[in-house]
Copies of this chain bind each other. A is one copy, B any other.
Amino acid sequence: MAVETKAQIVAAAGETLKARGFAGTSTRAIAATGGFNPGLIFYYYGSLHELLVAVLAESSAARLARYRSAVEDAATIAELFVVLRRIYREDYETGYVRVVSELVAGGIAHRELGPRVVELMEPWIELAEGAIERALTDSPFEQMVAPRELALAAITFYLGANLLTQLLDESAAVERLLDLGEQAAPMLELLRQPR
């Protein structure tokens, strides 16, 4: 039963975050959304911030699985960008972009929260690292750049894109960036040419 209750609490917190933002997501507001006693939040999560980290961790894991299969299935870089665009649009529509942005905004405002948010970037960096490693194998650039650092750069870019989307309250700006990816794909394919 505890597992079920915890899932309900996380779902209510996620909904509240999407509807009211970080500042409007109090334990009282979450409890009202889910129709349970606010005390349950402290019983199961210890604090509001721990619960919000759990919300980000859960939605991050779900989105990560989606990106992982896209990265694994794409045969070319051009194909990968087409898929990334589709998934990013889903991220926007399902509110995942908002969840990330609200937690980042919260992490800026509350110092103890910032490093927790950054920790959750780690599996994303690993995913990008693997993809970059595979893409660079046998290319002239294999020895020139470290995949780990390039992956950190990619995730830093993704973070910036999420915030930009949310600041503009529209996904148009990021669609333009994805256009760029599609445009650049033939160039990236060139870079992959074996020596």
Contacts and interface: CB of A to CB of B under 8 A. Distances in A.
Contacts of A150: 180
A183 B101 CA distance: 30
Contact of A159 (B105, B117, B164, B176): B164
A144 B183 CA distance: 7
A118 B156 contact: no
A177 B163 contact: no
Contacts of A44: none
B108 A180 contact: no
Q: Which DSSP category, helix, strand, loop or mixed, fits chain A's interface?
A: helix
Contacts of A164: 118, 156, 159
A18 to B, nearest CB: 13
Interface of A: 21-23, 101-102, 104-109, 111, 114-115, 117-118, 141, 144-146, 149-150, 152-153, 156-161, 163-164, 166-169, 173, 176-177, 179-180, 183-184, 186-187
**List of 6 A-B pairs having minimum Cβ-Cβ separation, nearest first:** A160-B160, A114-B167, A149-B180, A105-B108, A159-B160, A105-B105
